[in-house]
Amino acid sequence: MADDTPAPPAQPSLPGWARLPINRCNLPPVILGGLNFQENPVPLRLDGVFPFHAELFAMLDALPDPHARAERFIDYMTVHFCLETPEEAGGETKRHRTKADYTRVLRGWFFDSDGREAAVIKGWVESRFGLLTRFHKGLLRAGDDDADARFERERAQGIYATHALDAQLDLLYAYAQYELAHAPETHMTLYRGVNGIEDFDILERTAKREAIVVLNAMNSFTRDPERASEFGDSVLEAKIPREKVFCTQDLLPGRLKGENEVMVIGGAYRVRLCYWMK
């Protein structure tokens, strides 16, 4: 007997204007950036990171305390990337930007998500996940050559004369995923202050206060809706799969300061306006 059950509606795919054809991940951009991934996530693995740093994760497995794991991770990063002795890695001391390490880049993002360090992080997302930056001090890839050139210039300036900065961010993401895997939840409910859903590229409006949108390559969210309401007329709520969380401000205790911020990798998401200012 034929099955007359209607097929579920197709989920919107990530448009070509929001992605590259290839990346350095176990899933292609069109898959990891699509709405189906938000609702049915699977682990994301950057090429070679876990195997290359297997010793680190074996050490972390032996530590039940998350603070102890954080300290071990920080020590490993310092030694492996010669952060305190760049000359041992072949760097030219006079030109080597010894302070431009992963912690400095994170602090730069939390201070200004449109600054030079933020351009580095957005560029890293493009390279690793194949998700294009849509906004940096203005709309990108929309015919404004000056805006596009400014982003590429800041991205290049931010990574120039640094030591394996992209590789540091690779390992930071892998460590964040390792820590998030200790929690039973597959998603985090996060919030962002906005002036309206129109702030984003809208793929589909699914209800009066709900839509499917394309987020920027990297985005700032918070766990606190009241805090989010301070940054816009409305508060956007999204269920973020932990695989799309790059970093949280409590990941490295004592090293990062802010407003309970969570850095979220982009792609297509179903979002809703859950609160707005009167």
Q: How confident is the model at residue 64 (pLDDT cuts 50, 70, 90)?
A: very high
Q: What is the pLDDT of residues 120-161, one digit of tens each?
A: 999 999 999 999 999 999 999 888 999 999 999 999 999 988
pLDDT of residue 278: 44
Q: How confident is the model at residue 13 (pLDDT cuts 50, 70, 90)?
A: confident
pLDDT at residue 265 tops 90: yes
pLDDT of residue 165: 95
More confident residue, 173 or 100: 173
pLDDT of residue 99: 64
pLDDT of residue 213: 97
Q: How confident is the model at residue 254 (pLDDT cuts 50, 70, 90)?
A: confident
Question: How large is the average pLDDT for residues 246-254?
Answer: 92
Could you write out the three-class secondary structure of the chain? CCCCCCCCCCCCCCCHHHECCCCCECCCHHHHCCHHHHHCCCCCCECCHHHHCHHHHHHHHCCCCHHHHHHHHHHHHHHHCCCCCHHHHCCCCCCCCCCCCHHHHHHHHHHCCCCHHHHHHHHHHHHHHCECCCECCCECCCCCHHHHHHHHHHHHHHHCCCCCHHHHHHHHHHHHHHHHCCCCCCEEEEEEEECCHHHCEEEEEEECCEEEEEEEEEEEEECCHHHHHHHCCEEEEEEEEHHHEEEECCCCCCCCCCCCEEEEEEEEEEEEEEEECC
pLDDT of residue 96: 52
